[in-house]
Amino acid sequence: MKKNLLVLTLMGIIVFAACTKKASPGKTVKQTTYATDIVPLIQAKCSPCHLPTKGGRKADFENYAGAKKYGADMLARVMLNPTDRGFMPFKHDKLPAEEIAIIKNWVDQGMLEK
């Protein structure tokens, strides 16, 4: 009886080890960065107002430092309802959930530059 338990425990350990080993290689967590993910989104959805080179006169998101400074505020504003005060993008439709998720991931991951 004791021997059976030992065998079972050993088998359990082997199966567990095999499974965890299989899961780790190739598992890459995609990092959301300003350069790759945020710039295209800003250019598509926050233009021209937040892009000084396009004549925008609002908070400058065209450079990393500026975007980083307002990161949390950007997220808070795109999550509002279009009828709420402070909603962004100003006078435009609410961003699709995937785009809000991109901004959220970026903020959650510490607003990486690239």
Interface contacts to ligand HEC, rule CB under 6 A: 45-46, 49-50, 58-59, 70, 73-74, 77-78, 86, 88-92, 95
Q: Which CB, 89 or 106, lies closer to ligand HEC?
A: 89
| Type of residue at 25 | P
Q: How far is the CB of 74 from ligand HEC (least distance, A)?
A: 4
Q: How far is the CB of 5 from ligand HEC (least distance, A)?
A: 59
Q: Which CB, 58 or 104, lies closer to ligand HEC?
A: 58
Q: Which CB, 59 or 112, lies closer to ligand HEC?
A: 59
Omega before 96 cis (within 30°)? no
Q: Give Cα separations from 60 to 23, 53, 56 (angstroms).
A: 42, 10, 8
Kindly give, in sequence order, each residue whose CB lies less than 8 Å from that of residue 95, ignoring residues fewer than 6 positions away: 45, 78, 89, 103
